[in-house]
Amino acid sequence: MQILVQKFGGTSVQDKQSREHVINHIEKAVIDGFKLVVVVSALGRRPSAYATDSLLDLVDFPEHSITSRELDMLMACGEIISSVVLSNELKKKSIKSVALTGAQAGILTNADYNQAKIKEVNPTRIQNEFKQYDVVVVAGFQGKNALGELTTLGRGGSDTSAAALGAALKASRIEIFTDVNGIMTADPRVVKNARALDIVSYREICNLAYQGAKVIHPRAVEIAMHAKVPILVRSTYEKSGGTLVTTETSKTLGVDVSDRLVTGIAHLANISQIKVQTKEKEAYRMQSEVFRAMADAGISIDFINIYPTGVVYTVPDVQTKKATAILKENGFKPNVMKDCTKVSVVGAGMTGVPGVASRIVQALTGQGVQILQSADSHTTIWVLIPNKDVYKAVNALHEEFNLSRESTILHDFLTER
C-alpha cells in the first residue's frame, strides 16, 4: 500500500472555491492508487470566523483569563471543524473519506500546552481506517497528552502533524500545499522577484525555516529528515511545480557536497533589542542575574552578545513589557529598542568563503539601513535592523547575491536528473 500525506494550509481550505482545488489534488492522488492522509489547518486566516487567530480573539488573547490547557481546547477546534468540513465535501464527490482529530489519529504529545512536542505516533487507527476509506482527513496542529487532554503543537504546527504522520506511516512523500509556489529565495510578499527553489536539502531548509521562512515549520523538516521522507512544498492552485526537500542534492557519493553560497534570505519582524550596561567590576554578577531573571520568567531570548560592561539580547515585542519590568525590579536600567527585524542570510556554502559579511554590510549600508547588531555561524549571517527598513534590506541582499537567478549547483543537479 503506497501512502501519501497531503497537508493543506489555512488559505487553501478557506472557502468552497479554494477547497475545490484541494479536492482535485486529493482525487488525483486517489486515482493514482495512493491511500491518503490529508492534514488540514483551520479554515482561513483572521477575520475568517474559525481561523486560529479569530478563535484566540474570542478570549481576548493574550489578555485572557483561561489556562493554557483551556486555550488548547479552544485552538484545537479550528482544525477539527476544518477536517469535518473537508471530509463532508469529499464524500459528496464519492471519495471514501473519514475525519479524525489529531488524538484519534494517534498523535501523543508531552504536557507542554500550546507548544507540545510529539512523543509518539501510533498509526494503527489510520491503518485500520484504510481498510474502509481511501482518505483519512486529520485535524492538524494537535494531539493529546498522557492524561488524554487536548494539546496543540505551536503556531504553524499542522506542518509538524503532517511530517509526523508521514514518518510513522512510512509515506512515499509529504506534500505541503500552500498559497505560494514552493520555498522561495525570500518571502515573496517582500521580494517581488523571489524565485521558487526546485530542489533543496533538508539542512538548507531547516535553517531558513528556523530563521522565519514560515512557508514550512522547521520541526516538520527535522522529522521528515530523520525519517528520510521527501517533502514537496507546492501551490494548491497549480497542477505541478514546487520545491522538493530531500537529502543532499549531489548524486555522486564520496565527493564534497557543493552547497549554494546563499540559499535564501529569511526575516523575523517585531522583536526588541534590550541592552543592559554596568560598571566593569559588576559585570559578572549582572550578566548572570539578567539571564537568570529572563529564564525564571520563561522569556526566551535570542541574539545574545556579552561584552565587558554589558549584555545585549533580543526578545519578541510581545514579551518586551514583561522583560523590562523584571529588569527594573532587579535594579537594572535597560535600554530598549522595539520594532526591530532579524534578517538572516542563509547558505550552507558560505563556510570559509571570504567576503560574505562584507558584501552584506555594503549592501545594507549602501541603502542607508542601520545595522543594530550582527552575528554569524558557519551557515548563516544575522543582522538586526529597524522594522521600517525590512523591504529595503531584504531586497538589497537578494539583489547582492543574485538570488533571482538560478544557481549553477541547482542547474547541474537538474541536468543530471
Summarize as ranges the residues that interact with ligand ASP (CB under 6 A).
9-10, 41-42, 52, 78, 140-141, 155-159
To the nearest whole angstrom, how small is the minimum distance from the Cβ of residue 10 to Mg ion?
7
Shortest distance in whole angstroms from residue 9 CB to ligand ADP: 2
User: Which is closer to ligand ADP, CB of 72 or CB of 79?
Assistant: 79
Rounded least distance, CB 177 to ligand ASP, Å: 12
H helices of 49-155, in order, are: 52-57, 68-92, 124-129
213 binds ligand ADP (CB under 6 A): yes
CB of 7 to Mg ion, least distance (A): 9
Give min distance, CB of 48 to ligand ASP, in A: 11
Contact predicate 248/199, CB 8 Å: no
By CB under 6 A, the residues from 260 to 279 that bind ligand ADP are: 264
Cell 555561524 appears where? 377
By the rule CB under 6 A, 407 interacts with ligand ADP: no
Instruction: Burial-class residue 146 by CB neighbours within 10 Å (0-12, 13-18, 19+).
Output: exposed
- Indicate which of Mg ion, ligand ASP, ligand ADP, none lies near residue 183 (CB less than 5 to 8 Å, by partner kind): ligand ADP
Among 3, 184, 276, 396, binds ligand ADP (CB under 6 A): 184
Q: How far apart are CA 282 and CA 310, in angstroms?
A: 9
In the list Mg ion, ligand ASP, ligand ADP, none, the entry touching 347 (Cβ below 5 to 8 angstroms by class) is none
The order of strands in the sheet holding 373-376 is 302-307, 310-316, 264-277, 335-346, 380-386, 373-376
Residue with Cβ nearer Mg ion (9 or 102): 9
Helix (H, G, I), strand (E, B) or coil at 62: coil
Residue 311 binds ligand ADP (CB under 6 A): no
- Cell 536600567 sits on residue: 333
What is the DSSP annotation of 213-282? -TTS-HHHHHHHHHHT--EEEEETTSSS--EEEES-S-SSTTS-----S--EEEEEEEEEEEEEE--GGG
State the binding string over 102-141 for ligand ADP (x if CB under 6 A, else -): ----------------------------------------
If one asks whether residue 157 binds Mg ion (CB under 5 A), the answer comes out as no
C-alpha cell at 238: 497549480
Choose the stretch contacting ligand ADP; rule: CB under 6 A; options: 51-59, 208-216, 292-300, 350-358.
208-216
Q: How far is CA 148 from the centre of its chain?
A: 27
**Residue choice 44, 78, 143, 156 for contact with Mg ion (CB under 5 A):** 156
> Segment contacting ligand ADP (CB under 6 A): 4-12, 73-81, 88-96, 128-136?
4-12
DSSP designation for 403 = T
78 binds, among Mg ion, ligand ASP, ligand ADP, none (CB under 5 to 8 A by kind): ligand ASP
Q: Nearer to Mg ion by C-beta: 175 or 389?
A: 175
Q: Which helix (H) or strand (E) holds 317?
A: helix 317-329
Residue 285 identity: R
Q: How far apart are CA 192 and CA 170, in angstroms?
A: 37
* Residue in the shown chain whose Cβ atom is closest to ligand ADP: 9
Is residue 183 within 8 Å of residue 15, measured between CB atoms? no
What residues between 5 and 64 interact with Mg ion by CB under 5 A? 9
214 binds ligand ADP (CB under 6 A): yes
Nearer residue to ligand ADP within complex by CB, 180 or 364? 180
DSSP run (H or E) holding 411: helix 408-416
The residues near 31 (Cβ < 8 Å, ≥ 6 apart) are: none
Q: Verify binding: residue 11, ligand ADP, rule CB under 6 A.
A: yes
Q: Which residues would be at the binding site for ligand ADP (CB under 6 A)?
A: 9-12, 41, 156, 178-180, 183-184, 186-189, 213-215, 264
Q: Which residues would be at the binding site for Mg ion (CB under 5 A)?
A: 9, 156
